[in-house]
């Protein structure tokens, strides 16, 4: 693939204060002046996955997901969770970072800022990977009233199959080691991603992106700017989920029970070429959520896309502008007055 010149997205940065002492960065991309906005359009909050940040939604101002949302007249906001380089802990001692706190503090704080600044009572959510799971768990709270429609991309709701056939054998030691993982400050994933040489590209190509969807310049920009470290608290919680086969909070709450309580209209998107997340995981996501209005779309060559996409390039690749973004925009606009569905986007994917 030949490299093309790119213009990095330019975002307004808004600080979000959480109730437990973090200052987070929220990135805002508004539709250009004069862009027709659908009546009753809701703002859209984008949530990145584990050890990722807002750059995972596109590196080019012309082909990013926020650009597609803006072109449709939708206001886009992107959250960097606690632990990212753009976040700051204002308290004393070690910064408290785990998935529970991202769910309880970070996401509600970001939603509050978006609703206050836009005047909208509800916000649509688009979550990638673990960001999609946090969106679902937020929507499964009985008191949640601030979410309109929901899109989850390459999102698991179970980790029972995450290690393949080794999961059953690995579960007991993984469960036992989780408390020790919580003591780690991090795994230095971000520094490894910036390490010179081809090894980082080979790892990315093996697990997260496909060869034809991104050029080496885009991969380098993503590896150097879009990858965050994973905190020990996050790792420990993921290990507990794998070890127990259920989504358990640190205090023992069974998050699995929230999935059936999700009522927001939800689109589940699977990357046909995902080597990181088994396709069975995203199919199970569709089955487990309680939404009456829900659909499943598979993005891949066999389903009308120009490329096969991996776990990360399904949103990172510039080709996502044609193969992926129309599905997301169509779903978010579907309930708006006068909005017609994009028939091509729906017909060219598996729905269920």
CA distance 111 to 313: 26
**pLDDT score, position 35:** 84
Are 256 and 247 in contact by the 8 Å Cβ rule? The answer is yes
Residue 339 pLDDT level (bands cut at 50, 70, 90):
low
- What b-and-e string marks burial along 3-37, b requiring 16 or more CB atoms within 10 Å of the CB? eeebeebebeeeebebebebebbbbbbbbeeeeee
Residue 102 pLDDT level (bands cut at 50, 70, 90):
very high
Stronger pLDDT, 228 or 352, i.e. the higher one: 228
**pLDDT score, position 48:** 99
Q: What angle (nearest 5°) sits at the alpha carbon of residue 246, between those of residues 278 and 277?
A: 15
CA dihedral 171, 172, 175, 177 (to 10 degrees): -120
Residue 4 pLDDT level (bands cut at 50, 70, 90):
low
Mean pLDDT of 198-206: 85
Tokens describing residue 44? 């859209």
Residue 343 pLDDT level (bands cut at 50, 70, 90):
very low
Are 115 and 35 in contact by the 8 Å Cβ rule? The answer is no
In the chain, the largest separation of any two C-alpha atoms, in whole Å, equals 58
CB atoms < 10 A from the CB of 241, how many? 24
**pLDDT score, position 279:** 82
By C-alpha distance, which of 339, 315, 326, 265 is closest to 78? 315
Q: Where are the domains of the chain?
A: 12-158+254-347
CA distance 133 to 5: 34
Threshold 0.95, pTM exceeds: no
Q: What is the pLDDT of residues 130-153, one digit of tens each?
A: 999 999 999 999 999 999 999 999
Give the whole-number percent of the chain exceeding pLDDT 90. 77
- Least confident range from 46-50, 191-195, 202-206, 226-230: namely 202-206
pLDDT > 60? residue 83: yes
> What CATH homologous superfamily does 12-158+254-347 map to?
Alpha/Beta hydrolase fold, catalytic domain (3.40.50.1820)
Q: What is the pLDDT of residues 253-275, one digit of tens each?
A: 999 999 999 999 999 999 999 99
**pLDDT score, position 157:** 93
């Amino acid at each position: 693939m030949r490299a093309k010149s790119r213009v990095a997205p330019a975002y307004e940065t808004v600080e979000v204060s959480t109730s437990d002492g973090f200052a987070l960065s929220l990135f805002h991309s508004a539709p250009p002046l004069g862009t027709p906005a659908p009546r009753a359009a809701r703002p859209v909050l984008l949530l990145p996955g584990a050890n990722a940040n807002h750059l995972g939604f596109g590196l080019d101002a012309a082909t990013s997901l926020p650009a597609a949302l803006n072109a449709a007249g939708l206001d886009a906001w992107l959250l960097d969770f606690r632990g990212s380089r753009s976040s700051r802990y204002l308290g004393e001692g070690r910064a408290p970072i785990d998935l529970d706190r991202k769910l309880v503090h970070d996401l509600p704080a970001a939603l509050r800022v978006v609703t206050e600044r836009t005047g909208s009572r509800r916000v649509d959510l688009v979550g990638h990977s673990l960001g999609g799971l946090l969106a679902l768990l937020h929507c499964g709270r009985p008191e949640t009233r601030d979410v309109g429609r929901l899109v989850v991309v390459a999102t698991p709701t179970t980790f029972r199959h995450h290690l393949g056939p080794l999961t059953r054998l690995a579960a007991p030691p993984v469960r036992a080691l989780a408390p020790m993982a919580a003591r780690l400050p991090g795994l230095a994933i971000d520094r490894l991603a910036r390490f010179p040489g081809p090894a980082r590209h080979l790892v990315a190509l093996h697990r997260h992106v496909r060869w034809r969807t991104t050029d080496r310049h885009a991969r380098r920009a993503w590896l150097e700017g879009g990858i965050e470290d994973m905190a020990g608290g996050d790792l420990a919680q993921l290990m507990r989920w794998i070890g127990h086969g259920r989504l358990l909070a640190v205090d023992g709450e069974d998050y699995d029970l929230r999935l059936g309580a999700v009522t927001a209209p939800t689109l589940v998107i699977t990357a046909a070429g995902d080597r990181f997340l088994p396709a069975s995981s995203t199919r199970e996501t569709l089955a487990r959520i309680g939404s009456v209005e829900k659909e499943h779309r598979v993005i891949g060559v066999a389903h009308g896309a120009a490329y096969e996409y991996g776990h990360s390039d399904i949103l990172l690749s510039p080709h996502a502008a044609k193969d992926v973004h129309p599905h997301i925009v169509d779903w978010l606009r579907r309930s708006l007055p006068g909005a017609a569905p994009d028939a091509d986007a729906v017909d060219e994917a598996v729905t269920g």
